[in-house]
Structure 1
Amino acid sequence: MSTQRYGAGIWHFATYVDRYATDGYGDPRTILDAIELAGQVGDISVVDLNYPFFGGDFSNEQVGDALAKQGLGVIGITPEIYTRTFAKGSFTNPDPGVRRLAHELVTEAARVVRHFGADYVKLWPGQDGWDYPFQVDHGALWKLSLDGVGQLAEENPDLKFVIEYKPREPRVHMSFDSVARTLLGIERIGLPNVGILLDFGHALFGGESPADSAQLAIDYGRLFGMDVNDNLRSWDDDMVAGTVHPIELFEFFVTLRRNGWEGVWQLDQFPFREDSVVAARSAIDFLKRVERGLDRLDLSALAAAQDRQDAMAALALAQRALFGGE
């Protein structure tokens, strides 16, 4: 019987706006509404929560009661260091006062992590970076990025801080834009409690092979978390996992299996026009197929094919394991 745990960012069950449908895709929901929907999926055991909690002034106790009612735990807390307040950056904001606000918000989020017994504070500094040539001093900006994360990790050695990198959006170019640059930054910070949360879609969007990105992060001992979705590679579409790149998603999980990486398989999807519960179930159904495929895959034969760099033989093994057939 499978012991694999599944999770989701609670925003999967929120409502969304974009620059066209500014009135939103559906009625507004609070975090309590979203937790109730997450509980309806059936296979989700943990959620990643935005902080501050959206949709109202809710206490940790109120959120905890809602989670307990649905049988859900918390894997991480994501402080919202990417809102209008931080339009010119959080850790890299030119205003020291705004940088202090970012530090204080993440520190509050760290307390919430302790309250819920979560695994990590997730840092997604989406506004840290630049838009135009000559806009920033790149050396100074990078130092601010690393100092901001490093100070928090040093002040909270009992907690893990995971950086979720992404090439762009909302900033035209984000500071933590790739697995390699993020690893370089983490190595410069030099603290054991800073790692990467690897978003499968962000790796696709950045022109990376997600499997290769995972291997690199594992090789440096920095893969602390992961989440999955899908996209058409030209944007961070956050589509349902496995709908566009099933083979690359399977290769990603093969890499995790080969390296003995164990952790929650988490959804980071934005079902703008789809029913959020149905979208989550659809993704998890595919992830269960992936899990069965991992058990069927002949790893020895795969290794032999890869030693020869025999793409057709390797793909045939992967396709049979994932999709079935002779």
Structure 2
Amino acid sequence: MSTQRYGAGIWHFATYVDRYATDGYGPPRSLVEMIDLAGQVDDLSVVDINYPFVDPNLSLDTVGAALKRNNLSVIGITPEIYTRQFARGAFTNPDAGIRRLANEMVNDAAKVVRHFGASYVKLWPGQDGWDYPFQVDHGKLWRMSMDGVGELADQNPDLRFVIEYKPREPRAHMSYDSVARTLLGIEKIGLPNIGILLDFGHSLYGGESPADAAQLAIDHGRLFGMDVNDNFRGWDDDLIAGSVHPIELFEFFYTLRKNKWEGVWQLDQFPFREDSVAAANSAIGFLKVIERALDKLDFDAMQAAQDRQDAVAALDLARRALFSSY
């Protein structure tokens, strides 16, 4: 029997707004309502929760009660250091007062991580970066990016901080835009409690091979978490995992299994028009197919094919294992 745990960002169960449907794709949902929806998903056991809560009067005890009745625990807390007040950046904002506000918000989120016994504080500094040539001093901006994360990790040595990199959006160029650049920053900071949360879709969108990105992060001992979804490589579509790139998703999990990486397999999907529970069940159903395929795959034969760099043999092994596992 599988012991693999599955998770999701709680935003999977939110309602969404874009620049066209500015009135949203459904009625607003409270955090408690989102938790109750998450509880309807088969085999979902953990969630990542945004902070601060949309309802400022919502207590941790109320959130905890909702989690308990839905048999859910918290894997991470994601401070919202990417909203309008941080439009010019969180760690890289030219206003020292805003940078201090970002630090305070993340430290508050760290307290919530401790309260729920979560695994990490997730940092997605989406507004840190630049949009135009000559807009920034690149050396100074990069130092500020590293200093902001390093200060937090130093202030909270008992906690893990994960950086979720992404090439762009909302900034035209994000500071932490790739696995290589993020690893360079982490190694330069030099603290053991900073790692990467590798989002499969961000890696695709950035022109990476997610399997290669995972291997690089593992080789540096910095793969602390992961999210899966899918897209068409031209945008961060956050589609149902495995819907567009099933073979690359299989290779990604093959790389994790090969390196004995253990952790939650987490969804970061945005079902704008789909039923959120059905979309989560569909994704987890496919992840279970991948689990069975990994159990079936001949790892020795795959290694031998890869040692020869025999693409045909390797693909045949992968496709037979994956497509016979439904």
TM-score, structure 1 normalization: 0.99
Distance 2:168 2:57 in 1: 31
Matched with 1:309 is: 309
Distance 1:178 1:314 in 2: 27
Q: Give the ranges of 4+ consecutive aligned residues of structure 1 lying more than 3 Å apart after TM superposition.
A: none
Distance 1:3 1:190 in 2: 33
Matched with 2:198 is: 198
Matched with 2:26 is: 26
Q: Give CA-to-partner distance per residue, 1:251-270, whole Å, 9 cap, x none.
A: 00000000000000000000
Distance 1:245 1:56 in 2: 39
* Identity, % of aligned positions: 77
C-alpha contact (below 8 Å) 1:123/1:161 kept by paired residues:
yes
Matched with 1:211 is: 211
Distance 1:28 1:301 in 2: 51
C-alpha contact (below 8 Å) 1:30/1:56 kept by paired residues:
no
Matched with 2:243 is: 243
Distance 1:226 1:54 in 2: 25
Matched with 2:170 is: 170
Matched with 1:321 is: 321
Equivalent runs, 1:1-326 vs 2, <5 Å: 1-55=1-55, 57-324=57-324
> Given residue 149 of structure 2, which amino acid in structure 1 is its aligned partner?
V
Distance 2:87 2:56 in 1: 22
Distance 1:57 1:209 in 2: 43
CA displacement at 1:56 relative to structure 2 = 5.1
CA displacement at 1:54 relative to structure 2 = 2.3
> Given residue 29 of structure 1, which amino acid in structure 2 is its aligned partner?
R
Q: Give CA-to-partner distance per residue, 1:151-171, whole Å, 9 cap, x none.
A: 000010000000000000000
Distance 1:303 1:324 in 2: 20
**Contiguous gaps of at least 5 residues in structure 2:** none
> Helix, strand or coil: the match of 1:40?
coil
Distance 1:55 1:291 in 2: 38
C-alpha contact (below 8 Å) 1:81/1:102 kept by paired residues:
yes
> Given residue 37 of structure 1, which amino acid in structure 2 is its aligned partner?
L
**Contiguous gaps of at least 5 residues in structure 1:** none
> Given residue 15 of structure 2, which amino acid in structure 1 is its aligned partner?
T
> Helix, strand or coil: the match of 1:183?
helix
> Helix, strand or coil: the match of 2:40?
helix
> Helix, strand or coil: the match of 2:140?
helix
> Given residue 210 of structure 2, which amino acid in structure 1 is its aligned partner?
P
Q: Give CA-to-partner distance per residue, 1:67-100, whole Å, 9 cap, x none.
A: 0010100000000000000000000000000000
> Helix, strand or coil: the match of 1:270?
coil
CA displacement at 1:42 relative to structure 2 = 2.1
Distance 2:31 2:163 in 1: 23
Q: Give CA-to-partner distance per residue, 1:117-151, whole Å, 9 cap, x none.
A: 00000000000000000000000000000000000
C-alpha contact (below 8 Å) 1:168/1:177 kept by paired residues:
yes
Distance 1:17 1:57 in 2: 23
> Helix, strand or coil: the match of 1:241?
coil
> Given residue 42 of structure 2, which amino acid in structure 1 is its aligned partner?
G
> Given residue 187 of structure 2, which amino acid in structure 1 is its aligned partner?
E
CA displacement at 1:55 relative to structure 2 = 4.4
> Given residue 127 of structure 2, which amino acid in structure 1 is its aligned partner?
Q
Distance 2:163 2:35 in 1: 24
Distance 1:179 1:149 in 2: 16
> Given residue 270 of structure 1, which amino acid in structure 2 is its aligned partner?
F
C-alpha contact (below 8 Å) 1:29/1:55 kept by paired residues:
no
How many matched pairs?
325
> Given residue 87 of structure 1, which amino acid in structure 2 is its aligned partner?
A
> Given residue 142 of structure 1, which amino acid in structure 2 is its aligned partner?
W
The alignment's C-alpha RMSD in Å is 0.7
> Given residue 171 of structure 1, which amino acid in structure 2 is its aligned partner?
R
CA displacement at 1:53 relative to structure 2 = 1.3
Distance 1:279 1:10 in 2: 13
Distance 1:115 1:65 in 2: 13
Distance 1:145 1:30 in 2: 32
> Helix, strand or coil: the match of 1:49?
strand
> Helix, strand or coil: the match of 1:41?
coil
